[in-house]
Structure 1
Amino acid sequence: MKKKRVIFTDLDGTLLDHYTYKTDAAEETLAILKSQNIPVVLNSSKTQQEMLLIREQLNLTSPFIIENGAAIYIPVGYFKAQPQDTVLENGFWVKSFCQPKEYWLSLLGEHAMAYRNDFQGFSQLTDAQLAELTGLPIDKATMAKQRQFSEPLNWLGSEQSKADFINLMSSLGATILQGGRFLHVSGECDKGLAQTWLTAQYQQEAPQQQIITIALGDSNNDSAMLEEATIAIQIHSPVHEFPHLNRKHQVYQSRLDGPAGWAESLHDVLLSSLTNE
């Protein structure tokens, strides 16, 4: 059976350098993947506006997944038919998985007042404050604040306070994910669920092909994506441990950090084998 590979990748700390947000070390590999007609699906905590800009800069035309799996954006015409349960929005077929940001802000306001000194939400920060916190230029910090489905928190409290907060919000129906920098409050969605749904669309498009998914990530909010993929690649981070995984088969770890590790791993795991087929 012919194989079709699809790459699902995190951005911050994975395809983007943790400190500089640059992709230089991965650009040659991206060009090779494009020449091999292997889709690269961005699967990130970033907003739609951030993803559109990065997608344009990297010359990608594939679907992308925003805000830790909250919604998938598929370019109109990418598949032969519009997938079920999607809506048309500005040239994309959009599949959403959870309630809007306003719902989570309301929950935080009503139930998390005891922790109000333990975190700063993106909604509380000015564009300038977020730019200083993240090292992003002011225009990109503005885009980072345009959340549709989630509220990232800059945690200031203790680890015990964080654990208590997570338990509280989880009891109220929220899903709390720890990213490379921020704690993300959202609904019952994650990168793995979105990846699985989109993989099913690729399979439906090409029923005679075997879909091989390769996921790359560096943080615990990537764990669900890595668990669900055919091949999981954990990218080394300069600031934290590899994301936790329960699976043991087809798991690889990069030696290098960020985009350099991204390129290194895909050459070792994927591109070297393509030449032998």
Structure 2
Amino acid sequence: MLKQLLVFTDMDGTLLDHHDYSYAPALNMLDILRGRHIPVIPTTSKTKAELDSLMGDLQLNGPFIVENGAAVYVPQHVIQNQPSDTLANEGFWVKAFAQPREHWLALIDELAEEFDGEFLQFSTMSVQQIMEHTGLDECHAKLANSRMYSEPVKWIGTSERKTQFVTQLQQLGATVLQGGRFLGVSGNCDKGQALQWLVSAFQTSLGHKATLSIALGDSGNDVAMLEASDIAVRIKSQSHAYPTLTRTDNVFDSTLYGPSGWSECLTKVLINEG
């Protein structure tokens, strides 16, 4: 039985260039994957509103994972029978792994006085500030702030104080993940749990377990996804080292940056998988 390949990809710094968010170097590989009916599944810190726009640009119409694994959105045309523990919402089956954003804002607010002036957070930043700290234009900055399950925090204090801040959030019940630019504050969820749930949902829908998950990412919030996948691809970054993994099997490291490295390694994987 031929395996169904599933490509789970981080966006910023991986499929999208870290600086200008271009995906031009990946267009040919996206065409190849589309031609082979291999789903490309954005697995990202981005919001659903951001993905709604971006999916059209990338000509993707399959599932996606938002806010660092906080929720999975599966189009109902992809998996027709509703997976367990999902809600039906506007043509999607939605599996949520985290509590709403308001819960995490309340936890951060408990620490606001103690760490005053040492961090910025999306919910209190102006659109102009979000644009400055992300490089997004005004429209995409607004979409980035339409979060449902998490809160991005920009740390501007010392590394020692950052450790204290993260520890206290964890003691309050939050999970804190370091992304390329921001700390992601949310629940006991990550890209790895979301990947595993979606692989299982695909296997149930297909009626067999012959799937092969390929995960591509460049930073710390991708580690759980890279560890959980059958094949892990670490994308070279201009701003930080490859994410550290405990696994050593089926790991590819790109020599090129961002979407160029994305295409480079997927070419190797597809050749190896025939």
TM-score, normalising length from structure 1?
A: 0.97
1:209: Cα distance to partner?
4.8
Task: Specify the code of the residue in structure 1 equivalent to 2:155.
Answer: W
Q: Which whole-Å deviations, capped at 9, do the CAs of 1:129-173 have from their partners, x for residues lacking one?
A: 111221111000000011101110111011100111111111111
1:206: Cα distance to partner?
1.8
- SS where residue 194 of structure 1 aligns? helix
Identify which range, 70-79 or 187-196, moves more after superposition. Answer: 70-79
- SS where residue 203 of structure 1 aligns? helix
Task: Specify the code of the residue in structure 2 equivalent to 1:47.
Answer: T
Task: Specify the code of the residue in structure 2 equivalent to 1:89.
Answer: N
Q: Which whole-Å deviations, capped at 9, do the CAs of 1:60-79 have from their partners, x for residues lacking one?
A: 01100000000011112211
Q: Which whole-Å deviations, capped at 9, do the CAs of 1:33-87 have from their partners, x for residues lacking one?
A: 0000000000000000001111110010110000000001111221130111111
| Corresponding position of 1:26 | 26
| Corresponding position of 2:193 | 193
Partners of 1:85 and 1:251 in 2: how far apart?
Answer: 32
1:238-277 residue pairs with structure 2 within 5 A? 238-270=238-270, 272-274=271-273, 276=274
| Corresponding position of 1:230 | 230
1:35-184 residue pairs with structure 2 within 5 A? 35-184=35-184
Identify which range, 107-116 or 57-66, moves more after superposition. Answer: 107-116
Task: Specify the code of the residue in structure 1 equivalent to 2:252.
Answer: Y
Q: Percent identity?
A: 46
Task: Specify the code of the residue in structure 1 equivalent to 2:14.
Answer: T
Partners of 1:177 and 1:244 in 2: how far apart?
Answer: 14
Partners of 1:120 and 1:176 in 2: how far apart?
Answer: 15
Task: Specify the code of the residue in structure 2 equivalent to 1:3.
Answer: K
How many residues are treated as equivalent by the alignment? 274
Partners of 1:155 and 1:200 in 2: how far apart?
Answer: 36
Task: Specify the code of the residue in structure 2 equivalent to 1:91.
Answer: G
Partners of 1:265 and 1:207 in 2: how far apart?
Answer: 29
Give the aligned CA root-mean-square deviation in angstroms: 1.0
Contact 1:236 1:258 in 2 (8 A): yes
Partners of 2:185 and 2:113 in 1: how far apart?
Answer: 15
Task: Specify the code of the residue in structure 1 equivalent to 2:224.
Answer: A
Contact 1:2 1:208 in 2 (8 A): no
Unmatched 5+ residue regions in structure 1?
Answer: none
Partners of 1:119 and 1:111 in 2: how far apart?
Answer: 11
Task: Specify the code of the residue in structure 2 equivalent to 1:46.
Answer: K
Partners of 1:112 and 1:129 in 2: how far apart?
Answer: 19
Partners of 1:91 and 1:85 in 2: how far apart?
Answer: 16
Task: Specify the code of the residue in structure 2 equivalent to 1:6.
Answer: L
Partners of 1:19 and 1:110 in 2: how far apart?
Answer: 33
Task: Specify the code of the residue in structure 2 equivalent to 1:150.
Answer: S
Partners of 1:74 and 1:267 in 2: how far apart?
Answer: 26
1:10: Cα distance to partner?
0.1
| Corresponding position of 1:203 | 203
Task: Specify the code of the residue in structure 1 equivalent to 2:218.
Answer: D
Contact 1:227 1:245 in 2 (8 A): yes
Q: Which whole-Å deviations, capped at 9, do the CAs of 1:78-108 have from their partners, x for residues lacking one?
A: 1130111111111111110011110011111
Partners of 2:179 and 2:168 in 1: how far apart?
Answer: 19
Partners of 1:167 and 1:143 in 2: how far apart?
Answer: 29
Task: Specify the code of the residue in structure 1 equivalent to 2:208.
Answer: Q
Contact 1:2 1:209 in 2 (8 A): no
Partners of 1:178 and 1:111 in 2: how far apart?
Answer: 18
- SS where residue 184 of structure 1 aligns? strand
